A = this chain, B = another copy of it.
Amino acid sequence: MAATRLRDVAERAGVSIRTVSNVVNGYAQVSDETRQRVEQAVAELGYHPNLLARNLKRGRTGLIALVVPELDVPYFSELARAVVAKARLHGYTVVIDQTDGEPDRERELIMRGASAALFDGVILSPLVLSQADLARRDAAGPLVLLGERIAASPYDHVAIDNVAAASDATEHLLALGRTRIAAVGDQPYDTGETAQLRTRGYREAHAALGLRVDDSLIVSTHKFHRSDGAAAMADLLDHPDGPPDAVFCYNDLLALGAIRTLLTRGVRIPDDVAVVGFDDIEAGRYNTPTLTTISPDKTMIAQLAVDRLVSRLDGRSPGEPTELWAPYRLEIRESTGG
């Protein structure tokens, strides 16, 4: 049961601990004969290096933590997949951690995760963390932020231009001739910075055409799940001025929930109500109708984040924290007549 150690292998092979280490790591010159003897002992004993000890001595672990709010939200799991793949190219292993949006969990992970030397660096998609929290961070390892823009934080930050993307989405609906466009997913409080940016884009698209926004068509949701979208859509259908003729949802799950409500109530999509989402998750591509959506380049987001983190780890790019922008596209599909 007790794990075999370098020492056990050394005894068996009749060499010093140091030599075994050299063989295992491919260091230095080792004669063929000794190497074979050691390798045989390793195989017989089933030796594997104790990574804890190795990492302690080496001062690095090769682990990157990816901290996301909810793993079963497809956007995050798809992103996680991309991050894992990119990190592996650099020889890093990604450890995924889920916070459930609990502030304490988020804090604990960024504070302790890296400084505790368990991870070399952290990629964080913050949900609730404030600028103050980040400022208080005293951990050693580098940190790259995803998604949310936290103004003036001393960290690198990868995002897409939420305002522009939301504006594009809204503009698309306006161009279809829709006049009463609802926005679903606003979060006019502290932690809803992303949502607020999308609302701003929604307003700007209207303003650009000299149109007024009916604020009663902007619906807040607590979370960004299908159930929230379904509930919000139900409310909108009962709007005193009648239902809207289009809905811009701040993510695809909201949109899929909204679509479910629409179809249940016999509303035709896109004829009666056009729907646009945000994130381009796989579910939207197979829904009926397929979902028009803003498609952030997740691969690029992952790559920018990982590249930046790794270059910080390597001591390259010691410069100022940077805003890195990933591209996005508007994917026009059936839910808006595409």
Shortest Cβ distance from A46 into B: residue: B138
CB-CB contacts below 8 Å: A132-151 with B: 138-140
What's the Cα separation between A315 and B22 when bound, in Å? 35
Shortest Cβ distance from A49 into B: residue: B116
Shortest Cβ distance from A84 into B: residue: B98
Which residues in B have their C-beta under 8 angstroms from that of A111? Answer: 48
- Interface bits A56-89 vs B (CB < 8 Å: 1, else 0): 1000010000000011101001101100110000
Which of B52, B61, B226, B259 is the one whose CB lies under 8 Å from A288? B259
What's the Cα separation between A111 and B230 when bound, in Å? 45
Inter-chain contact B98/A95, CB cutoff 8 Å? no
What's the Cα separation between A226 and B290 when bound, in Å? 13
Whether A117 sits at the interface, judged by CB under 8 Å, is yes
Apart from A71-B71, A77-B77, A85-B100: 8 A-B pairs, beta carbons within 8 A: A1-B140, A3-B117, A50-B116, A52-B52, A52-B116, A71-B77, A72-B77, A96-B98
19 interchain pairs (CB within 8 A)?
Answer: A3-B115, A48-B111, A50-B56, A52-B117, A53-B117, A71-B77, A71-B81, A71-B96, A72-B78, A72-B80, A72-B81, A72-B282, A95-B95, A95-B96, A96-B96, A226-B285, A260-B288, A263-B288, A287-B287
* Interface residues in chain A, defined as those with a beta carbon under 8 Å from any beta carbon in chain B: 1-3, 46, 48-53, 55-56, 61, 70-72, 74, 77-78, 80-81, 84-85, 93, 95-98, 100, 111-112, 115-118, 138-140, 226, 230, 256-257, 259-260, 263-264, 282-283, 285-288
Q: Which 7 A-B pairs have the closest CB atoms?
A: A46-B138, A51-B116, A72-B77, A96-B96, A263-B288, A48-B115, A52-B56
